[in-house]
Amino acid sequence: MHTYSQFKVFTFLVPILALLSSCKNEFKSNDYVAYFGGEIVNPNSSYVLFCKDNEVIDSIKLDKNNRFFVQFDSLAPGLYTFKHEPEYQYVYFDKNDSLMVRVNTRDFDNSLIFCGRGDQKNNFLIEQYLKTEKDKNAIFGAFDKDIDEFTKTVDSSYQLATTFYNTKKQELNWSDEFDVYAKAALDFPYYSRRELYPTIHKMRTGNDVFEKIPQNYYDFRKKVDCNNAALSDFSPFVMYLSHMLNNMGAINYHNHYTEVDLALKTNINKMNIADTLIKNEKVKNTILNNIAFTYLLEDQNMVNNQTFLATYHKISTDKSQKNEITKIGNAIQLLKKSKVLPNVVLLDTNGKEVHSSSFTNKKTVIFFWTANAVSHFEAVHKKVLDFQKKHPDYQFVGINLNDTQAEWKGIMSKYKFKGITELRCADFEDLKSKWVITKIHRTIILDDKGLIKNAFTNIFELNFEDELR
């Protein structure tokens, strides 16, 4: 599958791997020296972040050939992540591993391959991930089937994945510490599918099967250690716990609550269940943050947000100033209707600064795009051109989020979007924190004084045009 990529990686890595090989005899049994490096093809920025537990350990600069390399004098064995925004992937280090990676941002996960000491187990993780993604697409239709057919399909897929896992485990003879992640990468996507079945089945078919679920359907939950701190930042584990809590915390009193109030009560219920079920603080805080992050970006009822956050702060023990949920909660408060949109610095095609506070002379629609999502880029501009004809009293501002100035100008030169003001984000982290931008589909509407009309809408929503009237 990776033959061509492997050849290209090999030609790049030979000099560095030779260096690593010449050093391997110098390692002492009690040191933890490790190396990490590689090449980023079509980079989005000039650096790679190396992280542990969502904390940045090192920011590694790319050289003129888009390559990076770092030596860690002491690196504890375990699971890490490397990030090249907006993408990331996991990397596992055993003692004295020396890992190199090559990845193309145009197809991040599919192009990624490891080489060096410790490469085989890391290539297993990425291959297992890709198999899971492929299976997810292949068996999606099974959610339409009755529960027996669905179970048969996902169980068959799980058995094939288990065979692959067992073969690799025997072949590579990896450590028990690494097996925690290898087994989690196998099990939790399968568990998640079973958790998701009742909800997706009802969504796709209209049939409510919650009452028809066999008594032993959720027996796999007995195998799950909800307090496994080693997995607290491993996506398959966190996603599974979130799906499980969605099921356990669902409140179906549609006749008594509005949809907004139902969402509030359901998410508070999920947090209370997590508080009861999960005793490990690290895992609990991760799951609470996941619940809060999702809820706060979906429900923009400010009164409900305050009620939700009061419960969150009561249960969560994450009191650090770096707490992202606190930051999001505070930022959302500044995005209320009739407030001034917090100012951010943008750039025009000449590199000149444009302040968002200048959008005051006309009613404004702000939308976002990136070259990494070409289909969205074209679709959103098509929508805007249509709305522009119907609502000439609005100015439409397209903001490119994370491409370089040269890439952005290159893309814009290929298209003609007459009448749309095109700008580029100068500092994505600043924009993200002030405007709470986590989804590319997000749209912001301002009135003619630059005051917020709706900071949390979506130009693709069916009733979006009503917001412009």
Segment 120-146, tens digit of pLDDT: 999 999 999 999 999 888 888 999 999
Beta bridge partners of 74: 32
CA angle 9, 13, 19 (to 5 degrees): 165
Looking at residue 256, its pLDDT comes to 62
The predicted model gives 89-112 an average pLDDT of 93
Segment 81-98, tens digit of pLDDT: 999 887 899 999 999 899
The predicted model gives 362-383 an average pLDDT of 92
DSSP 340: B
Looking at residue 211, its pLDDT comes to 84
Cα 382 from Cα 231, distance rounded (Å)? 43
Looking at residue 306, its pLDDT comes to 85
The predicted model gives 179-188 an average pLDDT of 97
Check pLDDT > 90 for residue 367. yes
Looking at residue 384, its pLDDT comes to 97
* pLDDT confidence band for 212 (50 / 70 / 90): confident
Check pLDDT > 90 for residue 276. yes
Write out the DSSP string of 405-455: HHHHHHHHTT---TT-EEEEES-HHHHHHHHT---TTEEEEE-TTSBEEEE
Residues 6+ apart with CB under 8 A from 70: 35, 36, 37, 50, 58, 60
Is pLDDT larger for residue 78 or for residue 26?
Answer: 78
Cα 45 from Cα 69, distance rounded (Å)? 16
Q: Supply 97's token pair.
A: 């591993």
* pLDDT confidence band for 8 (50 / 70 / 90): very low
Dihedral (CA of 427, 428, 433, 437) sign:
positive
* pLDDT confidence band for 296 (50 / 70 / 90): confident
Residues 429 and 411 sit within 8 Å (Cβ to Cβ): no
Q: What percent of the chain has pLDDT over 90?
A: 66
Name the amino acid, one letter, at 199: T
Looking at residue 332, its pLDDT comes to 87
The predicted model gives 163-173 an average pLDDT of 96
Looking at residue 10, its pLDDT comes to 38
The predicted model gives 331-335 an average pLDDT of 89
As a whole number, the mean pLDDT across the chain is 88
* pLDDT confidence band for 321 (50 / 70 / 90): low
Check pLDDT > 60 for residue 255. no
Cα 433 from Cα 435, distance rounded (Å)? 6
Segment 393-445, tens digit of pLDDT: 999 999 999 778 888 999 999 998 999 999 999 998 899 889 988 778 899 99
Beta bridge partners of 452: 446
Segment 16-66, tens digit of pLDDT: 444 344 334 444 455 789 999 999 998 888 899 999 988 899 999 999 999
* pLDDT confidence band for 277 (50 / 70 / 90): very high
Looking at residue 398, its pLDDT comes to 97
Check pLDDT > 50 for residue 156. yes
Looking at residue 322, its pLDDT comes to 59
Is pLDDT larger for residue 295 or for residue 36?
Answer: 36
Looking at residue 13, its pLDDT comes to 45
Check pLDDT > 90 for residue 330. no
Looking at residue 404, its pLDDT comes to 84
Provide the residue count of the chain: 469
* pLDDT confidence band for 261 (50 / 70 / 90): confident
Q: Supply 201's token pair.
A: 């089945």
